[in-house]
Structure 1
Amino acid sequence: MLGKLIKDRTVREAIASASVIGLNLVSATFVGLLMGWWLDRWLDTKPWLLLTFLILGIAAGFKNVVVEVKRIQKADAEEHEEHGDTDAKP
């Protein structure tokens, strides 16, 4: 349905990329939280493993966001080079 509403391919790709960035951050944080909670229950170490894995999940989420943003910037720079734009910054 979104493809029918938004005809421009670049706009659809930008929306998809923004969605992936948000999902990366949220999902990594949630996975770290769940792993820490489960390990705390199993090993009876409340709240230390939960906090540790939550911090690791947040860090992994931000790392994923940085990697995705760099990928988007690289693709944008390559697109500008293809079209001969000189004002594109690496």
Structure 2
Amino acid sequence: MKRETLRSLRELAYFSSLGLQVALSIFIGLAIGLYLDRRVFDTSPWLTLIFLGFGIAAAFKNIGLAIKKSRQL
């Protein structure tokens, strides 16, 4: 394969996994918040909202890192 084709395939694989990374970071933040609210502290909905915010922040961080990496390539 040509070098350009390999590079394009590598970029495609990286960016196609970005959606999964975003969804998982939000879901994990939500799951941790729900667990802490329901099982540990009984502070519903505050920890759920806080950890959901952390998950969304992590998702934006992943998007920012992907943009930074795409500019380097």
Question: Match of 2:72, SS?
Answer: helix
Q: TM-score, normalised by structure 1?
A: 0.68
1:40-59 alignment to 2 at 5 Å? 40-41=37-38, 42-59=40-57
> Which structure dedicates a bigger proportion of its chain to helix?
2
User: Post-superposition shift, 1:65?
Assistant: 1.1
Gaps of 5+ in 2: none
Q: CA RMSD in A?
A: 1.2
Could you say which residue in structure 2 is the equivalent of 1:82? none
Alpha carbons 2:30, 2:48 under 8 Å: kept: yes
Could you say which residue in structure 2 is the equivalent of 1:79? none
Segments of 4+ in structure 1 off by > 3 A? none
- Equivalent of residue 9 in structure 2, options 6, 9, 12: 12
- Equivalent of residue 65 in structure 1, options 45, 63, 66: 63
The share of aligned pairs that are identical, in percent, is: 40
Structure with higher RCO (Cα < 8 A, 6+ apart) = 2
Question: Match of 2:43, SS?
Answer: coil
User: Post-superposition shift, 1:43?
Assistant: 0.7
Structure number with larger C-alpha Rg: 1
Could you say which residue in structure 2 is the equivalent of 1:80? none
